[in-house]
Amino acid sequence: MGNKSAKPSKKKPTWDLNKATTSNLPSRPLRHLRFPSNSQGCFSNSARIVYQLGLEHGEEIRCVVFAPDDECTILTTSNPCGPNTYLRADEGMGHFRIFDVPQRKPKKEIITYYSQECDISPDGDLIAFVMNASKGEVAQLKRNRTSPSGVSEKLAKFHPECNGLIGQTMICKFAPDSSALLSAACVDFHTIRETNELRVWSVKSMNLVNSVVLRDLSDFCGFVTSCNFSPDGTLIAFSTSQEQLCVLNSKTLEKVCVVRKKCRGNKCWCVFDPRYRSEVLGCCLQDGRIELWHCDDGHHSSINNELYTCYKQERVTTTSRLYSCQYSPDGNFLAVGTSEAKILLLDSDTLITAMILDCKVQVVSAPNGGMYQSAIIHCLAFSKSCNYLAAGYNDGVVRVWQLPIRFDLKHISRTAILQCVPANKVYSLPLPDPLKIYLLHWPQ
């Protein structure tokens, strides 16, 4: 389908580098994940699965996240497999887990109820996950790297107070500066269409800062499938199960623009390109399409007049459905998870498929006792060094892919420096500001 308008310019205002910003970065050097050698003990530079983190039978992985300062630590949430989206509390038992990847076993495990998401703050000190034990709680844990579990035992909770027969919290996301937490909940099921509510919480006080009911903004239907802050923290983009896409002001939660309003019954997921402050928004649709949207007003001088236009659209598959998408931290790749156990690694600018990570899985779970050789990939996460890609499959396994090593001096140098220097100390290095921005994966 090709280009629909001019490609956005890469000449963007430089990121402000100051001590207040660096205080929100990890205070420890990046702990690198070492991949094991193959069975012959030889080095291989092809994409391959190097770790498999197996969970209980009958569960599917809904979210997977790498710690920003430790590639050996992965967070996951899982739910029972089944045809029903909403389950009763006694049926909907799932788990939040913290995995030590080299040990291939969880360090911490907490029971949840239909938990779709977890997240870790950009500074690596706080963990949040949807618990839904009663009225849709979002739990928060502090990292404790000296304890065997890796977290403190004290569990704090945000209370969205979901109403209705099956009100559930669906999303939880930290702001880029780690000061706020965003939650999205389905709060009422008595009406024909769900009522979704977004809430912003203060991480420090755990008090509600702002909230908005999406149907008050516009005629949104379905439920929220994804919700993300822009890299500069000024905007929030959310998508629904009915192909709708909208951008809000992160401070006021006022509507900036409705990118796509029509209700088509086609799930979609959205994610901001990390190379830009908030100008480029990627969208993955279940019917196999990928869209790239560009904001014409990059300076946000008149935030209510911002408009996103689709400058690139591509159908990347015709044989399977899409279920997840994620940019690499450096923005070079957009990874897409399919219903056929395949991960499509796309070039972020052209949407050309650079690599296919194929994993055919046999699962004995069909009602007739047969086997199907496929698996849905519900979630994806890149490690900070961009050397690994973790994927959560609906057969209850997290598979960690080692990506081919990029023989790029700048990339290799960045990884080596971050393994020796904490991210919040990069500011004090005797380097030019553009190089510090590159080291920290900040937007240009």
* Residue (of 272, 384, 270, 379) closest to 329 by Cα position: 384
Q: Bridge-partner residues for 302, per DSSP?
A: none
* Residue (of 60, 15, 63, 2) closest to 350 by Cα position: 2
Would the pLDDT of 247 be above 60? yes
* Residue (of 327, 233, 331) closest to 275 by Cα position: 331
Contact 236, 228 (CB under 8 A): yes
* Residue (of 219, 247, 220) closest to 234 by Cα position: 247
Q: What CA–CA distance (Å, rounded) separates 117 from 129?
A: 6
Q: What is the pLDDT of residues 54-100, one digit of tens each?
A: 766 678 999 999 999 999 999 999 988 754 444 444 455 789 999 99
Q: What CA–CA distance (Å, rounded) separates 24 from 9?
A: 28
* Residue (of 229, 226, 211) closest to 174 by Cα position: 229
Q: Within 261-358, where are the H helices?
A: none
* Residue (of 358, 356, 418, 359) closest to 386 by Cα position: 418
Provide the CA 2 distance to its chain's centre, in angstroms: 27
Q: What is the pLDDT of residues 225-240, one digit of tens each?
A: 999 999 999 999 999 9
Q: What would the two tokens of residue 197 be?
A: 């509510």
Q: What is the pLDDT of residues 147-166, one digit of tens each?
A: 999 999 899 999 888 866 56
